[in-house]
Amino acid sequence: MQPMNTDSSDTISLSSDSSTGAKRVLGLYPITWWRSATILCVILLVFAGATGLSMFEQFKAQVTHLQKQLVVVPQIKYIAVLTDAQGAPGLLVTLDPTQPTLVLQRLGNVVEGREESLQLWALPASGRVRSLGLVGSSKTLRIPASESDLRDVLQLGVSVESKGGVEDAQGPGGEFLFRGALVQKAL
């Protein structure tokens, strides 16, 4: 075995401060380490808090934006696809209860004559049929109607009437050109 070299240049020594008696590690006192670590933790906490607050504000803004979009988007509660005798779709009918209107969209190429009008009828489970209004010649149109107008209605029908339509009491003048079940959506 060789004797251990006790040369001062090869050894690492911890010097001690004669006034405080504290040992220095890599040139820093232990209390300085704690202060540095505490300051770093406080900075990290402030950064995390600011990030959390920013994320909360963004989330709140997104919720507000989505709530505004929900008001604008139509909420369809009733829907019906009216078909002809061969089963081809002719008219799509929806009801948005937030804006009490029936929205009608023509799906086929049916065109009424100059002296004719298409009239939309509510066909309840029992009782008399009720007119909901005239179907205009445009591809999409709105007819004022409320949810109560469609209560107890199982089907909708479209008949061909003389220009201007007929009164409720008179009822449809002939067979229905289009007919379909009225479905109430669950959601």
Of 73, 101, 118, the position where a domain reaches its end is 73
pLDDT band, residue 55 (cuts 50/70/90): very high
Are 52 and 83 contained in the same domain? no
Of 30, 47, 73, the position where a domain reaches its end is 73
Are 118 and 136 contained in the same domain? yes
pLDDT at residue 4 tops 70:
no
Task: Tell me the residue range of the domain where 45 lies.
Answer: 15-73
Rounded distance between C-alpha atoms, residue 59 and residue 70, angstroms: 16
pLDDT at residue 11 tops 70:
no
User: Across all residues in the chain, what is the average pLDDT?
Assistant: 80
Residue 158 CB neighbours (<10 A): 24
**Mean pLDDT computed over 95-115:** 81
Are 89 and 155 contained in the same domain? yes
Are 25 and 93 contained in the same domain? no
Strand partners, 116: 162
Kindly report, residue by residue over 119-178, the tens digit of the pLDDT. 888 888 888 888 888 888 888 889 888 888 888 888 999 888 878 888 877 888 878 888
Kindly report, residue by residue over 66-92, the tens digit of the pLDDT. 888 877 776 778 889 989 888 889 889
> pLDDT value at position 15?
47
Of 73, 98, 121, the position where a domain reaches its end is 73
Are 174 and 146 contained in the same domain? yes
Are 25 and 109 contained in the same domain? no
The number of distinct structural domains making up the chain is: 2
* Residues in contact with 102: Cβ distance below 8 Å, sequence separation at least 6, in sequence order: 93, 94, 95, 120, 132, 133, 142, 143, 144, 145
Q: Within a domain: residue 111?
A: yes
Which span out of 25-39, 54-68, 99-113, 133-147 was modeled with the highest average pLDDT? 54-68
Are 55 and 135 contained in the same domain? no
Are 115 and 66 contained in the same domain? no
Are 86 and 177 contained in the same domain? yes
Q: Is the pTM of this model over 0.75?
A: no
Are 113 and 42 contained in the same domain? no
> pLDDT value at position 22?
55
Q: Spell out where the chain has E strands.
A: 78-83, 89-96, 101-106, 116-124, 130-135, 140-144, 153-162, 176-184
Q: Helix, strand, or coil here: 132?
A: strand
Are 56 and 86 contained in the same domain? no
